[in-house]
Amino acid sequence: MLESPSSSKPLNQRPLILGSTSRYRRELLERLGLTFATVPPEVDETPAPGEAPRALALRLAEAKARAVAALHPEAVVIGSDQVADLAGQPLGKPLTHERAVLQLRAMRGQTVLFETAVCVTCQASGFVQTELATVEVQFRDLDDDEIERYLRAEQPYDCAGSAKSEGLGISLLTHILNDDPTALIGLPLIRTAKLLRAAGLRLP
């Protein structure tokens, strides 16, 4: 159970929580040298009818942060979500090999936008801010054999877009355009650090 300091204490003494079950986000946040806990957010991630990928990522990031903050009102909470945008259609985690094959076939030769949103909130202080990082990724014109060999080698079934750019997935691409280098992995650290400072935390 997280300790809850009194509301009179400065925010940099509040607990920090990452509202996520993603090991990728946990490993990225560890780079900032902060002590934090992880709490899974209970949020329905189903897109609303006609919801654009960017809007979906922003909505879910804030929903995750608020869901965890409601349970830990004294804490500073980070919520994040990533949605791949293929010609306006959202692509989430494939979860299975068959769905990953379909995603990579649809993306071959295409430009895909990866929308990664991050929200930082503290219920006790009333702080809530959200930022979005958009990464443009150009996929090579992959053949079916390349797709199959890649998926068997890396099994990126828990990644939106079915590819890990930090691993072998980089070989599937022709370019990445990005102003926040870790956004494509799942958490834009430049924006996250900015929001944490705005919330009152002191980063090492």
| Alpha carbon 47 to chain centroid, angstroms | 16
Q: CA–CA separation, 122 vs 76, rounded Å?
A: 5
For residue 98, give the H/E element and its range. Answer: helix 97-107
What's the burial of 200, exposed, middle or buried (CB within 10 Å: 0-12/13-18/19+)?
middle
Going by the DSSP 8-state scheme, the letter that residue 202 receives in this structure is: -
Q: Which of 44, 81, 143, 179 is catalytic?
A: 81
Catalytic annotation present for 81: yes
| CA separation, residue 105 to residues 3, 46, 114, 144 (Å) | 48, 23, 17, 8
Q: Which residues contact 108 (CB under 8 A, 6 or more apart)?
A: 139, 140, 141, 142, 147
- Catalytic residue annotation: 81
